[in-house]
A and B are shown apart, each in its own frame.
Chain A
């Protein structure tokens, strides 16, 4: 019943062709926002319509798809988008980062290193890094064209003046290939260094704003900062309650209403891989935690 209703991966071939052209242009000009004719998707804006369109247009029948939402394979957004592609493309899906060839992500980069055979697709709500500083689209485009990025530092200056340090923790602006300033989508700034010289192709799709941009493999990505206030990764000070990792990005989970809390890996696949490697030693800890 599924097969005849949709074209492979929902979008028709002409639409995919249009999006692929935009992607090619984006790859050719790293960090540059390429406009494309974003389609209505069977989900609301803000749920990843841009990422879904990019994924749909690069997906082939042999691909293995992984979808994560805040690092997790089993939250609403991830589950529904994975089911969408199971239904419309019939591709194999996985939760393993290593096995996947296409990974669609909402706001995290997996902890495991990515390889050249992989493509990471980001869902982007607001692609314009200068938007809240300069409301005019005509002006921000001109600023990009002239590499006129002083304003971006005004924002960082304000952070330091108000908080004593650069308080931007997500959507931290980066400069791609020493040219375009880009919004890395609302990923935590912990993930920023992973973007630089990444072996995988990184594609960014913004459905409502109708923009596609990209970081080609092995491209330098630099987080903006001041000489006397250099960029710093941020991570909660703790270890994962499940796998004991002290190098992964952590989520804080409130466990009761008396101040009880614990930290767990945001990347569920990374956490599970570590636990299966270290054997059953952790089952005690897991059993004691209500899920």
Chain B
């Protein structure tokens, strides 16, 4: 961690606010995310977590504030100032987005191999054998039997679809992954396997992750830092162990207290 500490942050949120008319999405959210760091955003439904994620991925425009990102060439730039072509390239090479519902992140009509290879083809790979080789390799890494490379994602189980989605995102070796409830809707044993996989991959590839979840156990397992949101505002932020073991805010105390004892 010592060498990364001296570096510039990878992602900077500065005073991000978003309101949908009179309805508040989130207000004045600021943080810095360094390379290799996993940050969990927790809070109840409607607390602005997903709005924040959509702001970071530039899918919606902020009402106030800005998002800065350090590009591969080392220059930190304001994402709103990028052209659409640049933003698209960034989103499909340097970023990943893991949706809660795999059907939103995958192309359900084409085979698993094509799903993993799509990003490679989008950045100009034109050699079938090499695309397929890379897809096979990634299926193996996310513990999907490479023999199922030509099967449609609809024939996959929920856990496999989620792992396929991870592989599809990681194939271009991105530096930043945004995850929206990646374990939502999976049963406990499948969740455990996915979490184990994600923890291994983020450590191996030194990925920076913004992880939105309402499950504090997931946050404890994966993240270095936690940001707690309530009614669109950040009410508490800090190291994961500190926040979970010694919550300061009454709302955070309530959240921590509502975890069932194992």
Contacts and interface: CB of A to CB of B under 8 A. Distances in A.
Interface of A: 142, 146, 148, 150-151, 153-154, 157-158, 160-162, 225-229
Most buried by B among A142, A146, A162: A146
A161 B121 contact: no
Contacts of A228: 127-129
Given A154-B114, A157-B121, A160-B128, 7 more contacts: A142-B84, A146-B85, A151-B122, A158-B110, A161-B113, A161-B149, A228-B128
Given A148-B122, A150-B123, A157 B128 contact: yes
Nearest to A148: B88
B121 A227 contact: no
Interface in B79-97: 84-85, 88
Nearest to A152: B121
Contacts of A160: 128
B147 to A, nearest CB: 13
A100 B212 CA distance: 66
A226 B85 CA distance: 24
Interface of B is mostly: helix
A92 to B, nearest CB: 48
Nearest to B123: A150
Contacts of B131: 157
Highest count of chain B CB atoms <10 Å: which of A161, A227, A229: A161
B111 A153 contact: no
A154 B118 contact: yes
Interface residues of B, number: 22
B249 interface: no
A157 B127 CA distance: 10
A222 B149 CA distance: 30
A162 B85 contact: no
Contact of A162 (B122, B126, B150): B150
Interface of B: 84-85, 88, 107, 110-111, 113-114, 117-119, 121-123, 126-129, 131-132, 149-150
B94 to A, nearest CB: 16
A157 B117 CA distance: 9
Nearest to B113: A161
A227 B114 CA distance: 17
A228 B117 CA distance: 15
A158 B118 CA distance: 11
A153 B122 CA distance: 8
A154 B88 contact: no
A150 B121 contact: yes
B114 A158 contact: yes
Contact of A150 (B84, B85, B119, B149): B119
Nearest to A146: B85
